[in-house]
Structure 1
Amino acid sequence: MIMLDTLARHNRAGGAGMSQYFDMGDETLWNPSNGASRMFQRQAAIFEAELALPSGIGPMENDECQISPDTFDTFVNALLTRHRRTSHAVWLALSEGFIATTLVLAERAGVEVNWAQHGATPEAPFEDVQVSTATGMSTPPEHEVWAAGLREKARELERRMPR
């Protein structure tokens, strides 16, 4: 165990690391492998472009990345709003892993997610709607089922996301 602690300190000090750190202030929210970190950062850039909002996830420097609390809060809630407003199966499949990972970080960061605010309303029309070939209609998931599904995916990932 001492050897692992020494390796972790060496990595944080700028050594050749095998993992990276997503921090908020002095607290580490996540310590993924380099590959998982790169994929997450690239997906964050894609969703920043999709939402036309910064994520609050800073650049990776010396194996560390700072997350800006207020900007990240805004991004997380906008991401959930966008996810809730689509019923396109492919868009949902492509986005759910990133969103579940982001929800774990949000929970660890103390971001308050008001699940009720992300329900679809007439003022918030659905986007990227996929029409069923069987019925010719789109049926978005019920709010409670939608929220429960994302929370469950986040809980499953949380156990596999070291700090």
Structure 2
Amino acid sequence: MSCARDAGQHDQHGGAALSQYYDVGDRTLWNPSNGASRLFMSQVSVYQAELGLPSGIGPMQADECQIDPLVFKEFVDALLAWRRRTSHEVMAALSEGFVAAVLVLAERAGIEVNWLPAGFTEDGGLKDVQAPAAPVSSEGAWAAALQCKSRELARFMTA
């Protein structure tokens, strides 16, 4: 991958690179297609604004971006806390894939995520509550379902 990657990888017709790289140092965590990367980076922007925090991902330069693991850990922990407090089923559905993809990157970066922050209570300070209310699931079930989704998605996120 080094020659094609360093030379600005081109397709057989001389077009632009076909994929992008998300790296921590010299280790590649993910090598998605340009379309998947563009969609992911758009969602990164959305959740940075929603959380009021930088993600530690970016910027994409020459089809590569570096992830700052310390900043990324804070973003991942805040994203999980945000998701945990959101019981709105539509918001949960919209965020599920993004959160799972972020968890794959965190795991590959060796980041231990904070599933239950200090002082967490069972209601978790819910916000954006669904009306009518969705069935309440236990914290353990929510975390297990998200971990399962992340493991499934990891199979499709080539490094």
Same-fold call, TM > 0.5? yes
Q: Does 1:9 align with 2:12?
A: no
Name the CA shift for 1:157/1:122 in 2 (closer, same or farther; >3 Å): closer
Matched position secondary structure for 1:39: helix
Query: CA–CA distance in 1 between the matches of 2:130 and 2:3?
Result: 49
Cα distance, 1:138 vs. partner? 5.2
Equivalence map 1:11-160=2 (5 Å): 11-15=5-9, 16-117=16-117, 120-121=120-121, 124-132=124-132, 137=133, 139-160=135-156
Task: Check conservation: 1:87, 1:139, Cα contact below 8 A.
Answer: no
Name the CA shift for 1:107/1:54 in 2 (closer, same or farther; >3 Å): same
Query: CA–CA distance in 2 between the matches of 1:103 and 1:122?
Result: 23
Task: Check conservation: 2:84, 2:124, Cα contact below 8 A.
Answer: no
Letter of the 2:3 partner, please give it: R
Query: CA–CA distance in 2 between the matches of 1:11 and 1:113?
Result: 31
Listed one character per residue, the Cα deviations across residues 80-123 of structure 1 (whole Å, up to 9, x for unaligned) are 00000011011000000000000000000111113233895279
Query: CA–CA distance in 1 between the matches of 2:41 and 2:74?
Result: 17
Query: CA–CA distance in 2 between the matches of 1:46 and 1:109?
Result: 22
Matched position secondary structure for 2:117: helix
Letter of the 1:26 partner, please give it: D
Name the CA shift for 1:149/1:112 in 2 (closer, same or farther; >3 Å): same
Q: Which has the higher helix share?
A: 1
Query: CA–CA distance in 1 between the matches of 2:122 and 2:84?
Result: 13
Cα distance, 1:125 vs. partner? 1.1
Give the TM-score of the pair, scaled to structure 1: 0.87
Listed one character per residue, the Cα deviations across residues 15-36 of structure 1 (whole Å, up to 9, x for unaligned) are 3310000000010000000000
Give the TM-score of the pair, scaled to structure 2: 0.89
Query: CA–CA distance in 1 between the matches of 2:120 and 2:44?
Result: 24
Query: CA–CA distance in 1 between the matches of 2:6 and 2:53?
Result: 29
Name the CA shift for 1:35/1:41 in 2 (closer, same or farther; >3 Å): same
